[in-house]
Amino acid sequence: LARPVYAGQLPQGLQTISNIIAVSSCKGGVGKSTVAVNLAYTLAGMGARVGIFDADVYGPSLPTMVSPENRLLEMNLEKKTIIPTEYLGVKLVSFGFAGQGRAIMRGPMVSGVIDQLLTTTEWGELDYLVIDMPPGTGDIQLTLCQVVPLTAAVIVTTPQKLAFIDVAKGVRMFSKLKVPCIAVVENMCHFDADGKRYYPFGRGSDTNIHSSLFTYLQVVQQFGIPHLFDLPIRPALSASGDSGMPEVAADPQGEVAKTFQNLGICV
């Protein structure tokens, strides 16, 4: 991926990272963290040097989704830097590893904490840093996007009509900042049972069935997002998120890993 020209000065902690990918959603609970973590472990499985930054200080999911031996971030007191923890070769930083639990903070404080955690970390040489963004498109997200020179964004949504309007909001935010959205992941779109396929939210990306497609097509055509992916409801994906072993790490040749390998990110 080509990094867009970055107007500000590159924060020192980020200078050894080739690509920074934001995984974003307008709402919570749509599977953003699941996508961020599985994308990161897929890239690692393809041979890339990868880190994950969990920027969701209000509800950090990373400590549940991965199980590193060392669950606390270490500080280098001399250099005043943070040393990420690591699990299966992926470097990890989350507010949930800072020993504070959930944060009760106001917006500007949150931005400050995110900024500090992200830019004072000794990431080392990374091909990809995947940022699990806080849900939404408000000030916190905007500040984060301004501090960090993002290479690209991936937007996660569920297939309802309203969710597609949310996608448009996300795309608008990133396009204002000149960050290309490379993919939309339509999560929990269907499940298979008794030999049949069910679409609990309607068929978002299907032309004939669901009215939401119109909005969706507008988003894709208007903004030119090259990749759209379905991620079905999979009990294994949910169970792996709770067990601390990402599904793609447990099953690197499986269906989910293949979806992420095709997301348009090269290693």
Question: Which residues sit at the interface with ligand ADP, rule CB under 6 A?
Answer: 25, 28-34, 61, 187-188, 231, 233-234, 237-238, 241
Minimum distance from residue 3 beta carbon to ligand ADP (Å):
25
Q: Can you say whether the dihedral through the CA atoms of 241, 243, 245, 250 is positive or negative?
A: negative
Minimum distance from residue 34 beta carbon to ligand ADP (Å):
3
Between residues 28 and 264, which has the closer beta carbon with respect to ligand ADP? Answer: 28
Distance separating alpha carbons of residues 177 and 4, to the nearest angstrom: 10
Ranges assigned E (strand) in the chain: 17-24, 50-54, 74-76, 81-83, 85-87, 90-94, 126-132, 152-157, 181-187, 191-193, 196-198, 227-231
Minimum distance from residue 203 beta carbon to ligand ADP (Å):
16
Minimum distance from residue 142 beta carbon to ligand ADP (Å):
19
Query: Which tokens go with 123?
Result: 């990431």
Distance separating alpha carbons of residues 265 and 106, to the nearest angstrom: 35
Query: Which tokens go with 214?
Result: 């119109």
Between residues 33 and 94, which has the closer beta carbon with respect to ligand ADP? Answer: 33
Q: What is the end-to-end Cα distance of the chain in Å, rounded?
A: 9
Between residues 25 and 212, which has the closer beta carbon with respect to ligand ADP? Answer: 25
Minimum distance from residue 32 beta carbon to ligand ADP (Å):
3
Between residues 30 and 148, which has the closer beta carbon with respect to ligand ADP? Answer: 30
Between residues 112 and 200, which has the closer beta carbon with respect to ligand ADP? Answer: 200
